[in-house]
């Protein structure tokens, strides 16, 4: 590792394990980002940072924490995903497959709805598009933190995105006000690690759960809906 790169990354040594540092350096060396700038979200299983690129643009870096991830829970989800047959209950293999799964889900989802564009992944790290004010480097707020000016319009756009996603063969499976950004009064879905294909035997139940959670949230803002009717319409359109 060149001295300049060592200097750049030594600040992270007390934050990340050596394996993660090597992956960060690899992705940085491939030109996806220059250096991490600030934390956006520090979670039990993953940390999300903004990162500066060489042309002074900004991207998002999502880093799964190898020792903190609930790989048993991950395994329970991924073992039912037909894209990952014969998955063994091995911590690192499950976490790396989980990251690959999120990357693939984002690639598929971006064909039909607004999501952060995935750029690259390496083991426990994903690089993706920054959603927000790129000049000010301000990330778009989550729906829970910024209620739309027109809740009913936003709800309709959200429901339409769920329907388009399902028709394309994908269910988010963890949709809520925490995993939708309010970007210029338009919904952008994030956190696709739990998303699964409609071939999954539990996909219909997961769709029902997503719809119910979203309907319940918007009901607080006087948006009327019929979750059962919405689900039935989506199932018929598949």
Could you tell me the two tokens for 35? 């250096």
CA 81 to chain centre: 17
Could you tell me the two tokens for 12? 């992270």
177 φ, ψ to 5°?
-65, -15
Q: String of b and e for 27-61 (b: at least 16 CB within 10 Å)?
A: bbeeebbbbbeeeeeeeebbbbbbbbbeeeebbbb
Which of 76, 145, 160, 191 is catalytic? The answer is: 191
Q: How far apart are CA 176 and CA 157, in angstroms?
A: 14
Task: Determine whether 17 is an active site residue.
Answer: no
Task: Determine whether 191 is an active site residue.
Answer: yes
Could you tell me the two tokens for 159? 């429901």
Q: How far apart are CA 103 and CA 108, in angstroms?
A: 9
Which of 17, 81, 174, 210 is catalytic? The answer is: 174
Angle between helices 91-109 and 71-78 (to 10 degrees): 50
Angle between helices 151-167 and 227-237 (to 10 degrees): 30
Helix (H) or strand (E) holding 205: helix 203-219
Residues marked active site are found at: 174, 191
């Amino acid at each position: 590792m060149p001295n300049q790169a060592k200097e750049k990354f030594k600040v992270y040594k007390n934050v990340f394990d050596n394996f993660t540092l090597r992956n960060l350096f690899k992705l940085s060396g491939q030109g996806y980002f220059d250096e991490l700038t600030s934390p956006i979200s520090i979670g039990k299983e993953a940390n999300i940072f903004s990162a500066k690129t060489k042309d002074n643009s900004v991207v998002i870096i999502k880093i799964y924490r190898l020792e903190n991830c609930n790989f048993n829970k991950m395994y329970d989800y991924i073992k039912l995903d037909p894209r990952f047959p014969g998955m063994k209950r091995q911590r690192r293999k499950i976490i790396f497959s989980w990251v690959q799964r999120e990357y693939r889900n984002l690639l598929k989802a971006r064909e039909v709805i607004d999501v952060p564009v995935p750029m690259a992944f390496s083991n426990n790290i994903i690089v993706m598009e920054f959603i927000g004010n790129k000049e000010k480097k301000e990330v778009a707020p989550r729906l829970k933190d910024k209620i739309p000016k027109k809740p009913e319009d936003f709800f309709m756009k959200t429901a339409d995105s769920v329907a388009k996603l399902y028709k394309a063969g994908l269910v988010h499976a963890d949709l809520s006000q925490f995993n939708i950004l309010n970007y210029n009064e338009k919904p952008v879905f994030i956190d696709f690690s739990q998303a699964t294909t409609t071939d999954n035997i539990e996909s219909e139940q997961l769709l029902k759960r997503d719809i119910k959670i979203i309907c319940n949230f918007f009901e607080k803002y006087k948006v009327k809906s019929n979750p059962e009717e919405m689900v039935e319409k989506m199932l018929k359109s598949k």
